Amino acid sequence: MIIVTGGTFGLGQSITVELARRGHQVVAFGLSTPQISSTAQGVQSLMAELDGAGLSADVLEADVSRAADVQRVVDHTIARYGAIHGLVNNAAIGPLGTVLDTDEETFDRIVSVNLKGTYLMSRAVLPYMKQAGGGAIVNVGSGAGWGKPNMAAYSASKGAVVALSAAMAYDHLHDRVRVNVAIPGGGGIVSGMSVGRVGGDTEAFLRRPTPGTAAGRSVTGRDLANAVAFLLSDDAATISGTVLDVGCFAGQGGPVPSKH
């Protein structure tokens, strides 16, 4: 049984569908209204894809930054399935900006969703994983976590997720709970966040040049989902505290654009 935060749209939708396709019971949740700098909204796209593939998942509306919402999702999961074996902390927002043009409210919201949300969900599920004899947590990171231009608050939040993941991996090693990070890279990956950064214009986003990947194309949501599924599986039974780059060497950051 696996919970996916931000699992109702974009990359989260791909993760939810792939896990369901592989036979997992999945509880996915997100918000019905678009968040700052993102086009992610509603559950219709997820439900349509699940129905079209003959799959099912529990789909809830909840805010990962609110402890009461997180607890409601966990209570639903335990009442329905009796256990939690995996968690994918995917929910995130990523408004652009330097420290000078990021207002305090926006900074707080980015940290609240991206970092606090990861903490709240992990804190809520860890007792159940320990009780069950182990489990796996996959946190979705970003190459911006090593610092990138015009992404000050987002970079700070994602860098903190990498550090938090490593600390959790140490803390829960003997509980047999594995904690890893998966990072989509290479540019060009279509998500609610990436498209939202260009005003919701998917065509404009796709026209932008990207480095691509060793596959000779941009990463897709399913590429990320495959990596997440691996880290959740018994095939990754000894892997914890690892950053798995699904794309183009995200940990190395990227080139600084020329000054105009």
In which region does residue 66 sit, left (phi positive, over 0), alpha (psi from -120 to 50) or beta (all else)? beta
Q: Which residues does 218 contact at the CB level (< 8 Å), separation at least 6?
A: 186, 187, 188, 189, 210, 212
Torsions phi, psi of 182, nearest 5? Answer: -115, 130
User: For residues 97 and 58, what is the distance between their CA atoms, to the nearest angstrom?
Assistant: 35
Which of 192, 158, 169 shows the shortest CA–CA distance to 239? 169
3 state SS of 138: strand
Q: Clarify whether 128 is annotated catalytic.
A: no
User: For residues 140 and 92, what is the distance between their CA atoms, to the nearest angstrom?
Assistant: 9
3 state SS of 11: helix
User: For residues 113 and 87, what is the distance between their CA atoms, to the nearest angstrom?
Assistant: 16
Torsions phi, psi of 196, nearest 5? Answer: -60, -30
Residues forming the active site: 154
